A and B are shown apart, each in its own frame.
Chain A
Amino acid sequence: MANYTLKVRRFQPESGEGPYWETFDVDLDPTLSVLDGLLQARDDEDGSLSVRCSCRAAICGSCGMKINGQSGLGCKTQIGEASEWANREANGSGETAPIVVEPMGNMPVLKDLVTDMESTHWAKIRRVTPWLLPEGDPPEREYIVPPESMIDVTQSMACIQCGACVSACLSMEADPDFIGPAALAKAYRFVGDPRDAETKERLHDLANDPHGIYDCTHCFSCIDACPKGVAPMDQIMRLRRAAGNEGIDDVNNGHRHENAFVNIIESKGTLDESLLLQESFAPGVKGKLKPPRGALKALMESIPTAIRGIRSGKMRSLPKLIPGIHPKLPDGAQDSVKRIYAHAEEHKIELNLYIKGEEGDEDAPVAEEEAVPAGQVEPEPDEGEPGQGGAS
């Protein structure tokens, strides 16, 4: 047993007051959860402390909340770890830091830790036509489908609709209309299901919606937040690949923007930002000779964003925008990059939660290793952080 302090962001809608902080001292085994701590406070101190909860075992998805600022499940976060974490964050102050508990983000708060998921999370789920649309009458027996396809969509079936990814989603903070990680992961469950006959329609819909699959900025927050390993961002990327394979040239320019990244890296090894916009809107020589409709307008409209990028330091130097001066990779490194591309083309392995390793293979997440071969590329010395891009 050990003592912990929970600092809870409370809100009592009938009081006429705004939100406030209240601390509760609880006494429990460090392996028990933050939810157990909250329930102890509710049982022993204040029965008006509201929190949705049911299974205590991370299967019902009721207790989504923010703990020390990180979205997750209260029942799946050990209180001892949460305390260590809070104290690491607050290092040096000399005092013991409390565990900070708040309601989920990107949703209105109804009371204490209870949020309105209906108007946010569930409305978005319903947006993606979340039911199977098979063609014609069902067969007499079961649908015959490849076993891997069922394992593949089971990763998104593993979603418990807790809303932690929605709470953590940075894109949704910027664009509340973004369909969002949970609903898009749900959409993949149908797109990846061979029994569904509306794959094309679903992909067109999600690619062309300005708040759809290209509205994600690859920030990985949803993957960090997801307590079930659904990796919603991965599901969104799968939707993008499927849309790309379907040849969907979306009105958001998302697919071409994504290809621009791929092509620039293949030829230059690192991101030549001077090429990014033109390759996105008017790709290749053909694109330059005969730009697609609206390309010029879109390019012009991008200028303010580029200027903001320079001002905020996202693009660190002006010369980067001058074509032709982007440094090449040293020695034969560019050939290695091309080899990685070739390898990736040959080994199109979809990572899956349910396929982790091979027999007798200690600790090896085989699929991951194969899919991400060790690159020999030296990072460019003066480059900023890699992977800042993404379809934005």
Chain B
Amino acid sequence: MPDHDVLVIGAGLAGQRAALAAAEAGVSVGIISKVHPVRSHSNAAQGGINAALAEDDSWESHAFDTVKGSDYLADQDAVEIMTQEAPEELLHLEHMGVTFHRNEKGELGTRAFGGASAARTYYVADITGQAIMHVLYEQLMKHSEDVARYEEFFTTKLAVDDEGNCVGAVCRNIKDGSMELFGAKAVILATGGNGQVWQPTTNALICTGDGIAQAYRVGATLMDMEMIQYHPTTLAGKGFLITEGARGEGAHLLNAKGERFMETYAPNKMELASRDVVSRAEQTEINEGRGFEDGTVALDITVVPRKRIHEALREIVLVGIDFAGVDITKEPIRIKPGNHYTMGGVKTDVHGRTDVPGLYAAGEVACVSVHGGNRLGANSLLDTLIFGRRSGQDAAERAKGRPPSNPSQKILDDEEAHLKSIIGREVGSGRRVSEVRKELGATMDKHVAVFRDETGIQTALETVRRLKEEAESCYIDDRGTVFNQDVLGALELGYMLDNAEATCVGALHRTESRGAQYRTDFPDRNDDEWLKHIDLSMNGGSEPEISYSDVTMTQWEPQERTY
């Protein structure tokens, strides 16, 4: 049995940062990932990372922007920690080798981003996430002796002992199909978000909410699961992301009449209002007939100087050409709001601890909450790194004081039997996994998206519960052991359905509009009743049990939110 002090599950930015931090604290670390680490979805973060590093900027300003952006649902103590520690983390990345953009003096240079009162986004062209993640992987290779990598291992279940401590996980080695029980004194989930629950989405195929569901199933609390971000600029139909950096560089949003419609919705910040605000504005234009026939509006990047486009937005020049057949340097590109980010997730404190002792969560899988009802652009990379590091450090400290872990062999036996039963289902005995997955995606995008109402969410919830039943008998084709992606797809479907149910329950329950949750039947924010988190837990039942927790306030009272 592979055994480590700290076991990290997921190897995007949060996971790699956690592993490096834990190793630095002197404990033995293993990192598991269902894809090779550099394939992780942190790659997709194009625009940059926020930090109040400049002399004329302050963490208070960054924190206020974040709190306001969150529609006051973020926990302000966590936001303070994140924004205070941001400059040091950014410099740490620079020292490790990230090739950040420089100004003429050779110092770190910035760009503007949505919802921010200062240009505090540091970046590498429009491959910031990729550049940081590849540099972290360089460090993992450098520290191979301190961090064992289990690349292409799929975690199927977390192991909890009789006293309720998380003590490891069961994983399937994708290359040969063998199942292994990993022991650990602390486990850090860094498995990312659940974008694949919606179709289309900007998220990668691997973003199936595995960690959220796995934590939930062993008793961890989920928080604010209704808060799902729709990004304002995604390619229609395919869901590909056009970075907010485009608007940061000055691009305009136009309706079909050629009007710069953000003047109506956010006269001050215009295109750089918060994402929820811009997405709603676009969807309103589209719904009221001022969009294009294909249900889109236009993003006009031609107003940005060409030299600057090539230098700073090269990736989306390629996306335009390869995936839309449009040269963005010459003509506007059709875009619409699309599923993008999971603000909710596994409830943690500022050290990444969940309600299950020994189980941590960091990054998109977690809900600290620093994003509340709406995440600001370029705050997600920051979140992964700050809380990845903090989780790694705290998990290492915990591990130092714990006896060796002793996960029960029965968990492994049960999981092996479970996978065997899926593989053994007769072809044609139920629906295909892919069919159920597609129905789920379409349902959620239709009913639990930018605008929501009770009837729609109720419909979605009923559909999800039917699909959960159908998923129990879904069959697959692959009977093999080597790279059996089919059976993993069946497991992912189960995780996605748990995520979807939690989101529907939260969205139905929160009878107000805040951040990404906009209820057409309750169009106003209601601080008297709803300035609180919605917590969901399993508590032995099959349906989520609802409770509430307070939003931590330190210095910013809720105000009306205008941009």
Question: A-side interface residues toward B, CB under 8 Å?
Answer: 12-14, 31-32, 42-44, 46-48, 50, 52-62, 76, 78, 110-112, 114, 117-118, 125-126, 130-132, 134, 138, 141-147, 150-151, 153-154, 157-161, 189, 193, 195, 228-229, 353-359, 361
Which residue of B43, B108, B310, B480 is within 8 Å of A60 (Cβ)?
A: B43
Contact status of A114 and B97, CB under 8 A, knowing A58-B318, A62-B35, A160-B130: no
Contact B99–A153 (Cβ < 8 Å): yes
Contact status of A47 and B489, CB under 8 A, knowing A147-B103, A147-B104: yes
Contact B151–A57 (Cβ < 8 Å): no
**14 A/B residue pairs, CB under 8 Å, sorted by A:** A14-B481, A47-B489, A54-B206, A55-B39, A55-B41, A60-B38, A60-B40, A62-B36, A112-B483, A130-B141, A150-B100, A154-B127, A157-B99, A359-B306
Residues of A within 8 A of B95 (CB): 134, 138, 142-143
Contact B36–A143 (Cβ < 8 Å): no
- A151 to B95 CA separation, bound complex (whole angstroms): 17
Residues of A within 8 A of B311 (CB): 151, 354-355
Residues of B within 8 A of A112 (CB): 483
Which residue of A59, A150, A354, A357 is within 8 Å of B102 (Cβ)?
A: A150
Select from chain A the residue with minimum beta-carbon distance to B485.
A50
- A289 shortest CB reach to chain B, Å: 47
Which residue of A118, A126, A132, A160 is within 8 Å of B43 (Cβ)?
A: A160
Contact status of A56 and B204, CB under 8 A, knowing A134-B95, A142-B94, A160-B43: yes
- A311 shortest CB reach to chain B, Å: 44
Contact A110–B139 (Cβ < 8 Å): no
> Per-residue 0/1 for B321-352: is the Cβ within 8 Å of any A Cβ (1 yes, 0 no)?
01111000000000000000000000000000
Residues of B within 8 A of A111 (CB): 480, 482-483
Residues of B within 8 A of A31 (CB): 323-325
> Per-residue 0/1 for B145-176: is the Cβ within 8 Å of any A Cβ (1 yes, 0 no)?
00000010000000000000000000000010
- A59 shortest CB reach to chain B, Å: 5
Contact B434–A44 (Cβ < 8 Å): yes
Select from chain A the residue with minimum beta-carbon distance to B311.
A354
Which residue of B91, B318, B481, B482 is within 8 Å of A141 (Cβ)?
A: B91
- A354 to B135 CA separation, bound complex (whole angstroms): 20
Contact A144–B483 (Cβ < 8 Å): no
Residues of A within 8 A of B433 (CB): 47
Which residue of A47, A130, A193, A354 is within 8 Å of B125 (Cβ)?
A: A354
Residues of A within 8 A of B109 (CB): 147
- A246 to B154 CA separation, bound complex (whole angstroms): 47
Residues of A within 8 A of B434 (CB): 42-44, 47
- A287 shortest CB reach to chain B, Å: 41
- A189 to B319 CA separation, bound complex (whole angstroms): 24
Q: Which interface residue of A48, A59, A110, A141 has the most chain B CB atoms within 10 A? A: A59
- B325 shortest CB reach to chain A, Å: 7
- A126 to B143 CA separation, bound complex (whole angstroms): 12
At the interface, yes or no: B410 with Cβ under 8 Å from chain A?
no
Contact status of A54 and B205, CB under 8 A, knowing A118-B151, A157-B131: yes
Residues of B within 8 A of A56 (CB): 204-205, 238, 240
Select from chain B the residue with minimum beta-carbon distance to A60.
B39
- Nearest 8 pairs between A and B by C-beta? A132-B97, A43-B434, A47-B477, A48-B478, A47-B486, A147-B102, A138-B95, A356-B310
